[in-house]
Structure 1
């Protein structure tokens, strides 16, 4: 096997780890979105209103933002093998809980907790980063992310048919439970076959747990600033579920959550201080420094790429239906093309980054994304349907290739904190989705697309300050010696 090519038909060494891990991620997405294609049956079974259905969809992603931060810390501390196995195991039982729910309250509670499985993505980023060298890590992360993300599309294609095969009013329950059973079995398979690192390699862990390490005074305050949008997004979700919107939460409950979010931010700030107060007393040696701006810029890039993908996938079927007067089935099939591009686009973004440079490719792909959304903002009922679909697919390629380019660089920032860097970037993807969907609730689809295009232009400017990984990064071994890890 050459340095630049992967034999994906192999099932040994690092390629075995890649296959084991992308399938684990695939299952987390199947489980995370197993309710969406069955929502019509669930709505009928519980006689749900449109508002109750919307609340069920929103609450499914509410826990994912903090979960990705927490999982990022755990995977850096305990290793991806045990964390991924544990996540699969626990999510399978939550699946069973959702499948046997006998009230709307039980549906809401189980979907809220199941939002934690959306953090599975973060675990594999660290695992793949451990097994693949810098010259291959982009394409490997792209395959992992792209093929794993396809789990949501696979759920949409397979579960309705599976529910019909089971038949009866409870067909949807058996279909959901089946995904839980497969996930339960695979949790043991992953634990048995996966390993955190290649034989003889060291798994580097953070010196302290509780917050991300920074290496300068300026980065300390930059880190605190970058934490704010994640709490703001959770506040927006609370507002959506609150008395002024979906009315799932009462005023007292909503206010309690707002106070809780403020308290959590204060607590996290105290943890950031505990972990990093030494930077105010003495300078960190140059060999151990990294620039937090690298993390912040990658966060913004994922905000625009994955954030816009989640938002657009949510609204695109209705957009096609209303713009071109299509049936629900036709609109859904045409809109599904946006997610289908993940299979090819995300690995392509990683591959191009490996070959042509990280910053250069991210800049090019975000430029294409901005142009793509600008074109989508021009679509009207006067457009030929085929042209609108082609424009959507082209835009989707740049969006998902951009996601691949972001995570081609995440493992190269600081090895021992890869889980935390991936967790923060992943959380920003969900923040982007909340932001863009909130904007969509106030504007037309055309303005919505143009807003994303504008956000992409701002992100493009930020990407120009990204430093291309060069040379080596230093990590300290348990015996105190320093190991240099190639990042270019």
Structure 2
């Protein structure tokens, strides 16, 4: 019987490309990056889409909500599939099939077609779960938090890089004689094709574990599941800790998604910034994923070394509470300089909270890492859905009231009133969300571990092979 834990990487040596764990780390991070790049690829072109397809304000907000809603179901499903078939095949098919709605988004002709494509494009957001499962299978307990956080953070970077990358692709398309009005369509098609190609790369250049793929190990009799080792999905969801982490991730990643998706308009409406300036600020917000999420996983590992699994929970609670305080403070600022400072602090803390969350996840149920990751990951999108729905409700009502109150005063006066109403409504929404995040920080303290859970294998144990084998359901 093979001991997979005994051959997991104990260091994140990024340039050791001969090591299958490091090679898989890079490929899964790049794949995740491309999924996020395509998932939010349409965001820089939304003004063009609104004009070309004639989207109403409600349809624009619905597209944001749909883009994060589809991911909920995909994440719940993909975690269980990873436990059964392995992350390699799951990622391969997700990239190949997920490329289809991305490509079709560039071909839509009606608002309904656009909304349907945004719903199904959201499915590629399940790539996060596979990334976390794959790095958990490749790295030892002493470094798994840092590895998970880094791969996720660099993947999340795709959600910000598209603000620079998609316009560059569009500019390249235009240089070949394509009309400016059609550039956004070609850009989406190109992003979809890249996702498809990454699916092929994933299939041929990664493997499920340091010792091989699930199907190969099962065929060789080296990875066998007994009745004792099998963990049903119903048994997994009975663990209250999973649902606390579900809420925690809703309050961290879910809020980051919503703030990221609404910040452009908020900065323009509140501080009267130009569209390009606001976009660059939001881009810098996303670029912090290069290091911020890694810091969350790193400190999670450090506190875990000092105080065991309880230490990981204490750090998670602290950084999540700090995140909420930063968002509440940002929502009340009227100065652009002060606002940007607190936006940076919010960005740093929210991404660290995400990394800290997945420094805890691998230790909840080691026999069902995929299922646990899927449920917790889905929490992020539920949080994004609820937060976006709150902001949409407040903003739509305020804008409609402003339109009625200023009807007949001219387009400029109407636009100014509408912007002010939207700014005030979103500010109130951020304020409410911030306090919900603070409450969630205290809720995280309810996560407990037994003395058996606390017996985390050390580096030496990982190297000498004294651990129990990791087995999978057949």
TM-score range, shorter chain: 0.7 to 0.9
Alpha-carbon deviation of 1:184?
A: 1.3
Alpha-carbon deviation of 1:314?
A: 2.1
SS of aligned partner of 1:416? coil
Q: Tell me which residue corresponds to 2:412.
A: none
SS of aligned partner of 1:198? coil
SS of aligned partner of 1:306? helix
Q: Tell me which residue corresponds to 2:184.
A: 172
Q: Tell me which residue corresponds to 2:292.
A: 345
Listed as ranges, the matches of 1:92-171 within 5 Å are 92-167=99-174, 168=179, 169-171=181-183
Structure-1 separation of matches of 2:36 and 2:337: 29
Structure-1 separation of matches of 2:223 and 2:331: 47
Contact between 1:205 and 1:417, CA under 8 Å: does it hold in 2?
no
Alpha-carbon deviation of 1:55?
A: 2.9
SS of aligned partner of 2:291? helix
Alpha-carbon deviation of 1:461?
A: 2.2
Verify: 1:72 aligned to 2:93, yes or no.
no
Structure-2 separation of matches of 1:92 and 1:352: 35
Q: Tell me which residue corresponds to 1:373.
A: 327
Structure-1 separation of matches of 2:51 and 2:224: 51
Alpha-carbon deviation of 1:391?
A: 1.0
For residue 313 of structure 1, the aligned residue among 254, 257, 260 is 260
Structure-2 separation of matches of 1:110 and 1:336: 24
Contact between 1:196 and 1:203, CA under 8 Å: does it hold in 2?
no
Structure-2 separation of matches of 1:204 and 1:423: 23
Structure-2 separation of matches of 1:185 and 1:324: 42
For residue 277 of structure 2, the aligned residue among 323, 330, 333 is 330
Verify: 1:471 aligned to 2:455, yes or no.
yes
Q: Tell me which residue corresponds to 1:423.
A: 374
For residues 325-375 of structure 1, give each alpha carbon's deviation from its aligned partner in whole angstroms, at most 9, with x where no partner exists: 212222222233322221111011001111122112112211211221232
* Higher normalized contact order (CA 8 Å, seq sep 6+, divided by chain length): 2
Alpha-carbon deviation of 1:451?
A: 1.8
Quick check: 323-332 or 193-202, which moved more? 193-202
Alpha-carbon deviation of 1:152?
A: 1.3
For residue 59 of structure 2, the aligned residue among 38, 42, 52 is 52
Structure-2 separation of matches of 1:124 and 1:93: 21
Contact between 1:320 and 1:335, CA under 8 Å: does it hold in 2?
no
Alpha-carbon deviation of 1:179?
A: 1.0
Structure-2 separation of matches of 1:294 and 1:386: 40
Report how many residues are paired.
Answer: 400
Verify: 1:297 aligned to 2:244, yes or no.
yes
Distance 1:37 1:43, change over 3 A: same
- Segments of 5+ residues of structure 2 without an aligned counterpart are 1-7, 305-311, 395-423, 458-466
Alpha-carbon deviation of 1:116?
A: 1.1
Distance 1:111 1:449, change over 3 A: closer
Q: Tell me which residue corresponds to 1:360.
A: 314
TM, length-normalised to structure 1:
0.76
Verify: 1:185 aligned to 2:185, yes or no.
no
Q: Tell me which residue corresponds to 1:289.
A: none
Structure-1 separation of matches of 2:15 and 2:468: 32
Contact between 1:121 and 1:145, CA under 8 Å: does it hold in 2?
yes
Alpha-carbon deviation of 1:101?
A: 2.5
Alpha-carbon deviation of 1:3?
A: 8.0
Structure-1 separation of matches of 2:344 and 2:226: 41
For residues 237-291 of structure 1, give each alpha carbon's deviation from its aligned partner in whole angstroms, at most 9, with x where no partner exists: xxxxxxxxxxxxxxxxxxxxxxxxxxxxxxxxxxxxxxxxxxxxxxxxxxxxxxx
Structure-1 separation of matches of 2:244 and 2:108: 42
Alpha-carbon deviation of 1:433?
A: 1.4
Contact between 2:161 and 2:283, CA under 8 Å: does it hold in 1?
no
Alpha-carbon deviation of 1:64?
A: 1.1
- Segments of 5+ residues of structure 1 without an aligned counterpart are 224-291, 474-481
Contact between 1:204 and 1:416, CA under 8 Å: does it hold in 2?
no
Structure-1 separation of matches of 2:224 and 2:350: 32
